[in-house]
Structure 1
């Protein structure tokens, strides 16, 4: 057993394969190639004198020895990274952080947050993915995403969350639609049932005088805004995404529309997360205040 030849990158590679599930995903995360990942695994297995993975169909699964090494190495790796970060200013941190966000969260808080991260952590690369909340939860739990911003309350045993404020929902239409509104024929646009906002919108519509209007569904808020701007009906929109058309008068409130509860937002990460950089960024994100538009 040639333990003295084991390098930190061997353990880093092993831990990312264990977290992400495939050599290809680990290669993407570590900004290298799949053959390079395979070579690192072969080197590590050769140095240890034991197999760490076995093939199961097209997938690679950890052997009992591999699982034990991962279990024992994870806290050591996290501690090592913490020591390195503690010995230097966090502004010198390096790595790739993957941030996921729902469309509304992306418009509400992500631009300013990401811009400030880029300023404070110039050597950290950010990969931002806009996705549905259900997909964000899966990506977080599997380790493909480090931190996610999402609408609604996230309840998942593998995730740690923090509230970051709420956003108002508004009934809006173009001025011409409001002037010619017909409670039986004017369509209402809502997000689909894949969105955590669907239930809120559905209940609000049912309680309004517009309950008999045709209901159209769309999975993209910006597309709905464009349709309503063109006179295509009534929409229920998050305030941060419609500030400009409201200010210009291109969208106006729908008369006598019922009030709607604000939508809560949360930031989430894996409950078992131990990477010091991810923890530091999550702590910063958890201090966001959407109503204030700045860190608390």
Structure 2
């Protein structure tokens, strides 16, 4: 097996399809299929079950996954370590991946401050979902990730950064006009939008709304599962339902007036934000420096 084959395997496993993997890797789909075929031939086992354009890992694919991540992470660590050593021990690049909604939070201010404090450093920044953030850090494609909720994977270290406040978000035309309510009972019978609960994760975003509604006495609520925060925002704007969202994700819509947010006094809810790093992975000096900047410049989010 080759590194290119393992990289292709991991990308397909992460995005769930050959077409999207070919786009992410900037390779033709025949080239992607050829790499997978060669990898499966060398291992003597099918790695993916194909269903239309979507694929899922077989038992053999699941067995390979952590080893493929470890191999590629070690190679990327080696490359970073050599580059830093060649620069006299002064790291020149920080590879960072963050959940997209955090790009509209105080973390952006921290990034600006970090770049002004370390002008010689290039920040390689990308956005992803929380699950993808962890996968990119595990595979060594990013040194550090910022995501919602700690990751229980023992290969990762989750460093708490505080919690982002959640608000009840509703369309501008909703009949409830109060800016503040004592509880959620005013929304009895409403449809809610939420993420699908993550299997085996009782603390996931998808479970959070269920618990909060139950605690408020709303029995058998109608919940529609939407796996995209952007789609949830658009559907709320269209009057399709209500949602519980982090402040940063709706700041622009609130400014424009297409959405309204209501503070609920009994709703003590927040999305925990964490930094994730790979245990025993190469970090250089910049990861710690960036965490220090986060601590100093995002007081509204962080509780250290």
Question: Do the structures match in fold with TM over 0.5?
Answer: yes
Report the CA distance shift for 1:279/1:183 in structure 2 as closer, same or farther (over 3 A). closer
Alignment of structure 1 residues 116-131 onto 2, 5 Å: 116-119=113-116, 120-131=118-129
Aligned to 1:51: none
Displacement of 1:143: 1.3
Residue equivalent to 2:98: 101
Retained in 1: the 8 A contact 2:110–2:297?
Answer: no
What do residues 72-108 of structure 1 show as CA deviations (whole Å, max 9, x unaligned)?
xx89x8498358445xxx5xx534x432222333333
Equivalent of residue 81 in structure 1, options 84, 103, 110:
84
For the 8 Å contact 2:161–2:301, the answer to whether it is kept is no
Is the CA contact (8 Å cut-off) linking 1:187 and 1:234 kept in structure 2? yes
Which residue of the partner structure matches residue 279 of structure 1?
287
Cα distance 1:285–1:198, how it changes in 2: closer, same or farther (>3 A)? Answer: farther
Match of 1:202 among 201, 206, 210: 210
Query: Kindly tell me: are residues 21 and 162 of structure 1, through their superposed partners in 2, closer, same or farther at Cα, counting changes over 3 Å?
Result: same
d(CA) in 1 for partners of 2:263, 2:223: 18
Q: CA deviation at 1:220?
A: 1.8
Structure 1 segment 137-152 matched on structure 2, within 5 A? 137-152=134-149
Task: Please give the root-mean-square deviation of Cα atoms over the aligned residues, in Å.
Answer: 4.3
Aligned to 1:38: none
1:217 aligns with 2:225: yes
Q: Which 5+ residue runs of structure 1 have no aligned equivalent?
A: 1-16, 26-32, 35-54, 62-70
Q: 1:79, 1:182 → 2: CA distance? A: 58
Cα distance, 1:127 vs structure 2: 3.7
Q: CA deviation digits over 1:252-285, x for unaligned, max 9? A: 4558684132221111111112242553455446
Question: Deviations for 1:17-59, whole angstroms, at most 9, x for unmatched residues?
Answer: 69x955999xxxxxxx99xxxxxxxxxxxxxxxxxxxx98458
Q: Does structure 1 residue 170 correspond to structure 2 residue 174?
A: no
- Is 1:259 the counterpart of 2:276 in the alignment? no
Q: Report the counterpart of residue 58 of structure 2 in structure 1.
A: none
Measured at CA, do residues 273 and 150 of structure 1 come closer, stay the same or move farther in structure 2, by a change above 3 Å? same
2:195 corresponds to 1:191: yes
Task: Say which one has the larger Rg.
Answer: 1
Deviation at 1:188, TM superposition (A): 0.9
Question: CA offset at residue 128 of structure 1?
Answer: 0.8
